[in-house]
Structure 1
Amino acid sequence: MNWGSAGEFFAMGGYGLYVWGSYIACALLMVLEPILTARRHARARREAAHLNEES
């Protein structure tokens, strides 16, 4: 495709909201996933340590 301006590029032929929204959603999930995984891992380690102390 050939765009005449930056505005046309970002509009993506009328599909810009869908295209750029998808990129933003994907980037947000790629940032959140390691954070949430680390939190779940830390919680599991704390729970395992707590169970180990009880036995």
Structure 2
Amino acid sequence: MYFETLAAALQMDGHGAFVWSAYLITLGVIAFILYAPKRREKRFLRQLEGQIRRSGGQVAGAIKEV
């Protein structure tokens, strides 16, 4: 193994703060990229539900009588 102890691995010869912060930022960005579309979809569905309720249960522009 390259590092003798866990503390040495965390310090990485003085570069540990940069390396580990880069990993944390990268993981944060990936988590946001995965979470954002789900949040956007929930917001869109809530807005759509509100529009349908306001229109009396009828979808605007697509009313067909059977």
The answer, yes or no, to whether TM exceeds 0.5 is yes
- Residue 26 of structure 1 corresponds to 29
- Looking at secondary structure, tell me which structure has more helix per residue: 1
- Structure 1 runs of 4+ aligned residues shifted over 3 Å read none
Distance apart, 1:17 and its partner CA? 1.7
- Residue 63 of structure 2 corresponds to none
1:53 aligns with 2:53: no
Per-residue CA deviation, residues 12-47 of structure 1 (Å, 9 max, x unaligned), is x22122100000000000001000000000000000
RMSD: 1.9
Give the TM-score normalised by the residue count of structure 1. 0.71
Q: 1 or 2 for the larger relative contact order (CA 8 Å, sep ≥6)? A: 1
Give the TM-score normalised by the residue count of structure 2. 0.60
Q: Flag the structure with larger Rg.
A: 2
Aligned length: 45
Gaps (5+ residues) in structure 2?
Answer: 3-8, 58-66
In structure 1, C-alpha distance between the alignment counterparts of 2:51 and 2:20, rounded to whole Å:
45
- Residue 43 of structure 1 corresponds to 46
